[in-house]
Structures are given as C-alpha cells and as structure tokens.
Chains A and B, each alone.
Chain A
C-alpha cells in the first residue's frame, strides 16, 4: 500500500514549456486534490475532484488544468509555464469530502526559469 505517490519529484522548465504532474493513490479514495505551497505560505488549493470524470476549481486555478480519467489518478497540467508557477506541488486524496483527513503525497518541486 503506497498511499499517494507523485511523479516527478523535481523538474526544471523554461518559460512557455508545458508539463504534466501525475498523482496516483491506491486507497480507492473518491476525492483528490492539487495544492501548491510557496515559502512562508500555507498550501493553496488549485483544483480538486469529487470522483472519476469530475473536476472543480479551487482557490488558485489560473494557468492550470486537471483531468481525472481514472479514479486512482489525478493529473495536473501546465500549458505554458510561467516563473510565478515555481512552487512545490502536493497532491492529496481523501475518503470523504470533509469529515476525514486528507492523505498527502511527497510533493513535486517545480522550478520555472
């Protein structure tokens, strides 16, 4: 039981390049989330999903797109990376939407030059 895994662990991009971050969970959770964490700030929700085939915007969705084609996977895409998207990205999943804890992946560190 690996929990929540994220790929890649670290990536450097040039401005304007695109990439996809992959999140996978093996706990059969319905709900999945993408956050970003910037220095001195808490985590901020980018997008989330309440089930396979559904996605919704969080607090800071601009510049990102997501897809949940399979229940166990949640993909975060950057179509045209900008330096402001330099951050650490965390994926999380949960069994319920509010009453229980979220389980977090180890994070992906992204540097956009």
Chain B
C-alpha cells in the first residue's frame, strides 16, 4: 500500500526566504505526482503535476522535482511572500489502482 509522508508538518519563515517542502512515498511505481495548495476553508488547487518520466516542473516561483528511485519529491518556493501562506499537499498516483494517495500536508506561514 502506498504511503505518502510530508515533513515538516508546519513551517514558519520570514518573507523573502527560499524554502523547500519535502514529500516521500513508499512505492516507487508511480504514474505521476502532484503538488496542491489548500487555503483555509477552501478546496485544493493544483500547482504542479510531474509525470513519472519527468524530473521536474516549474511554474513561476515554484519548482517541483521528482526522484522516483529514492521515493522523494521536493517543492521549492523562491522568494517567499505572505500570500504563499497555505497548506501544501503532495499526492501520488500509483501505477496500480485509480486512486491518489495524499500526504498529510505542510502548513506554511510566511511572515511579513
């Protein structure tokens, strides 16, 4: 059974810092991996989707990398802003089955 872990569970940084969020998964036979953003009381918004054949994806100040062999993904946020404050979730789609398996999320606070 696929298990997804996100460390740390919470992170507080001053504005302007570059930061890295971590996601690890136990089964490397994945179809793709996604990073989502969730604002308080809201649904999830997809940030980046990395197919299993890709090593990274970039969108603006966000860069996500994927290392299937080690079962890891990182989300890099450059020059963080208070508006980046949210919970970030990673989710893995395994080759077997039709389900996304989510990590518990990292709650990020960027202080002005």
> Which A residues lie at the B interface, using CB under 8 A?
4, 40-45, 48, 50, 56, 58-59, 90, 92, 97-107
Q: Which of B55-102 contact A (CB under 8 A)?
A: 89, 91, 93, 98-102
Residue B41 at the A interface, CB < 8 A?
Answer: yes
Chain B interface category by residue count:
20 to 34
Excluding A102-B100, A104-B44, 10 further A-B contacts by CB distance (< 8 Å) are: A42-B4, A43-B100, A45-B100, A59-B99, A90-B43, A90-B44, A99-B32, A101-B46, A102-B46, A107-B42
Smallest CB gap from A56: residue in B: B98
Of A50, A90, A101, A104, most buried by chain B (CB within 10 Å of CB) is: A101
Of A41, A90, A97, the residue contacting B98 (CB under 8 A) is A97
Residues of B within 8 A of A98 (CB): 31-32, 93, 98
Contact assessment for B98 and A106 in the assembled complex, using a CB-CB cutoff below 8 Å: no
Of A40, A41, A56, A105, the residue contacting B43 (CB under 8 A) is A105
Residues of B within 8 A of A97 (CB): 98
Smallest CB gap from A106: residue in B: B43
